[in-house]
A and B are shown apart, each in its own frame.
Chain A
């Protein structure tokens, strides 16, 4: 396996792990939700750092101009906000209502991740179907009154 393959493997696998953990965080309730969320944020940071370290992301302006990179970067910004406000002391200071209002943005992050993944040119069929189904079902469940 040469350097190119290793670099791509690192970027792709960290991306998939981050997406899977994000889905788990949305699906779970209780303590594990926060753990999954923070783990997903960490994996997303690794994914971003790996893309930066390899020449795969040669120019930060691509994060603005390239739609799928823009979606990924925006999702990462959302996760940064959520990660930074997931300490119990901060939750108390903000008030649970305000905190919830921010953390509902995780659904936006999930949609952006889906956009990012669907446009990323390495998506296997099973990954696309699994990711779309999981994210859309979770959002539908959240929005439905039952």
Chain B
């Protein structure tokens, strides 16, 4: 052992030091190597018994520590799940590339193909139209009503054949809320185009495309579709009302339907004659027929608005969107479930939220009482009775009957309840994830998606669930401080799958990596779900993103694409996913905010029209503000150099994504 072996002694010494200092970063052994060399470089290093013993002991220490703390090392060196990050990045750079790579078999899907240098693109054996927007970008819509959606897309690009894979989500029936009236209940499944009518037993009725809600009228049930309302009474009657329709409410002698674009509430007679249209200054969500007036909720404004004589009247600011709401049978009181109540619009301390039910006087929109529902999390549906309310808690498998003073009267257990109706006797309960209405099984959900959906709504020990802020996978349009020391707007998680890494700092390579957060910060879950992270990931990937507004003007889209490229937007918001999955310090793009030193990720622009407020702290309300007011230096896209017509084309293009 007399041979000089300086390298090995230095390596062993550096590793031993690493084991002793226990800092889970690679820089430590490397720097130790250099420092040890500096200390020992004047001496001839040979193995002596003493050095051998010291190094051997140190190495054992090191190996024990590395094996014990390997996860921590991978975490702090960002090597955990690196393959997921690389896979997404490479899929997007493997041209021709398609984004998003997920298609839903139950609804039209908008995709983008990036194939630079290609003039003509088509899909083999299909008349699917790929609209060339210039600069190698193509836009196409996969609509299951016109083209079967398959896993493999065989592309013909200027005569060259390319195959690209799509993940296809095939949803099962999802009866969400139950609507009631006249001793009957009903529910719809958007995913499978079905109406469930419950009158003693459950009847399944196939309806036209994509029902979103229903309302029980004296004679029949009205089904709200995305663009129209239909009734099923002998001959099918349908009225087209444009724009996406969301919810319906039955009044004593009419039917109200909320439309998001252009925002309005439409009043129909029971036989579907349009009686009046109330244009709104906000996008309506839930509606209720009070005595002599309507009450609409606005998710984005987090407000309840009373509508009298076709005009907006009283408002009640809640600070959080309404999850669901129901009127008492005498229509005098409104019960609204919210994930918190913040009339001061305060972001609140780190993840402090309180699920609750608000009792509101329907006539004046005056808040009468608040009822925090903890420890039962995520009230999903409310049914009202003469003597109280019944609440379905999606987060805890419970349906609870309360009396007028919110004292518990009875409790029913149902697997992830999402709808409840009181028709006398025991309540009728439905579950969207489980595809059940009462004892009636209406679908056969994929066990992984089922576990994921359960997990999404399930409460942690801290009383929070994913649903608490990401309402049904969307946003609660509120600001939260989740440990950054500043309040940031909640992002929608719809459509974010396959764009790793996640979160604004891009610090999570997968949803699975968030598990540590729920375990250590939120106290973990009471009930275990096997392989929760993967199930949750699959569920989130199965959520469709909000479809953009129709964009029919191809010439304007082409001009917009060109403006997008000329302003340099696609350098980071790269085709086809409109992100390069990279991170930049904020001061790099906004020199006027050079004090911001975090690395922020490039968000995808798909669905950007609906993603306000913009920029990581939500300081821009509109896309115009992002491009012009909040972009003084022109480094966040040189949009100021564009002409007025190019600017409007660019905005049209962005809203079409």
A residues adjacent to B (C-beta < 8 A):
1-5, 8, 54-59, 61-62, 66-68, 70-71, 73-74, 77-78, 81, 94-95, 97-98, 100-102, 104-105, 108, 112, 115, 118-119, 121-125, 128
When distances are taken between beta carbons in the complex, the residues of chain B under 8 Å from A70 are: 25, 27
Known: A59-B597, A115-B77. A122 touches B94 (CB 8 A): no
Which residue of B has the minimal Cβ distance to A126? B93
* Interface presence of B68 (CB below 8 A): no
Q: How far is the CB of A132 from chain B (nearest CB, A)?
A: 10
Contacts of B94 in A (CB 8 A): 125
A34 to B568, CA, bound (A): 40
B86 CB contacts on chain A under 8 angstroms: 118, 123, 128
Q: CA separation between A58 and B41, bound complex, in Å?
A: 36
Given the complex, which residues of A lie within 8 Å of B34, measured CB to CB?
77-78, 81, 102, 105
Number of A-B contacts (CB under 8 A): 112
Q: Is the CB of B26 within 8 A of A115?
A: yes
Residues of B within 8 A of A121 (CB): 89, 506, 580-583
The answer on a CB contact under 8 Å between A101 and B10 is: yes
Nearest-neighbour CB distance to chain B for A89, whole angstroms, equals: 15
Central interface residue in A2, A123, A124, by most chain B CB within 10 Å: A2
Contact B25 A101 (CB under 8 A): no
Q: How far is the CA of A103 from the CA of B585 in the complex (A)?
A: 35
Q: In whole Å, how far is B322's beta carbon from the nearest beta carbon of chain A?
A: 39
Asked, given contacts A67-B78, A70-B27, A77-B34, whether A55 binds B588 with beta carbons under 8 Å apart, the answer is yes
Cα(A100)–Cα(B27), bound, Å: 21
Given contacts A62-B599, A123-B89, A124-B93, contact A4 B6 (CB under 8 A): no
Interface residues of B in 591-642 (CB under 8 A from A): 591, 594, 596-597, 599, 634-635, 638
A-B contact pairs, 23 of them (CB 8 A): A2-B635, A5-B571, A55-B585, A55-B587, A58-B594, A62-B599, A67-B76, A74-B30, A94-B41, A95-B44, A98-B41, A101-B6, A101-B10, A101-B41, A101-B45, A102-B34, A102-B37, A105-B33, A108-B33, A115-B77, A118-B86, A121-B582, A124-B93
Residue from A77, A125, A128 whose CB has the most chain B CB atoms within 10 Å: A125
A58 touches B30 (CB 8 A): no
Q: Which residues of A contact B37 (CB under 8 A)?
A: 81, 98, 101-102, 105
Interface centre among B34, B89, B93, B568 (most CB of A within 10 A): B34
Nearest chain-B residue to A104 (Cβ)?
B7
Closest A residue to B78 by CB, please name it.
Answer: A67
Which of A4, A66, A97, A102 is most buried by chain B, counting CB atoms within 10 A of its CB? A4
Q: Are B568 and A2 in contact (CB under 8 A)?
A: yes
Given A8-B571, A55-B591, A98-B6, A105 contacting B78 (CB threshold 8 A): no
* Partner among B4, B90, B580 whose Cβ is within 8 Å of the Cβ of A125: B90
In whole angstroms, how far apart are the Cα atoms of A97 and B90 in the complex?
43
Closest 5 CB pairs of A and B: A121-B582, A101-B6, A59-B597, A67-B78, A74-B27
Chain B contacts of A71 at CB under 8 A? 26-27, 77
Contacting pair A74 B82 (CB below 8 A): no
Residues of A contacting B27 with CB < 8 Å? Answer: 70-71, 73-74
CB of B466, distance to nearest CB on chain A (Å): 26
Contact indicator per residue, chain B 374-405, by CB within 8 Å of chain A (1) or not (0): 00000000000000000000000000000000
Contacts of B428 in A (CB 8 A): none
Residue B584 interfacial (CB < 8 Å): yes
The interface residues of chain B lying within 8 Å CB-to-CB of A59 are 585, 597
Of A58, A67, A95, which contacts B585 at CB under 8 A?
A58
Bound CA span A61–B25, Å: 15
Distance in Å from the Cβ of B575 to the closest Cβ of chain A?
15
Measured CA separation A67–B582 after assembly (Å):
14
In the assembled complex, the Cα of A94 lies from the Cα of B38 at a distance in Å of: 11
Using CB atoms, name the residue of chain B closest to A60. Answer: B597
In the complex the two chains form, what is the Cα distance from A102 to B26 in whole Å? 18
Flag if A56 contacts B584 (CB, 8 Å).
Answer: yes
- Residues from chain B with a CB closer than 8 A to the CB of A95 are 44
Q: Find chain B residues with CB under 8 A from A58 CB.
A: 585, 587-588, 594, 596-597
Rounded to whole Å, the gap between the CB of B641 and the closest CB of chain A is: 9
Q: How far apart sit A100 and B44, CA to CA, in the bound complex (Å)?
A: 12
B589 at the A/B interface (Cβ < 8 Å)?
A: yes
Question: Given A74-B30, A101-B10, is A4 in contact with B571 using a C-beta cutoff of 8 Å?
Answer: yes
A102 touches B588 (CB 8 A): no
For the complex, what is the distance from the CA of A102 to the CA of B41, rounded to whole Å? 9
Q: 16 new A-B pairs (CB below 8 Å) besides A58-B588, A58-B596, A62-B597?
A: A4-B635, A55-B587, A55-B594, A56-B584, A58-B585, A61-B597, A62-B599, A66-B599, A67-B25, A67-B76, A67-B78, A71-B26, A98-B6, A98-B41, A119-B82, A128-B90
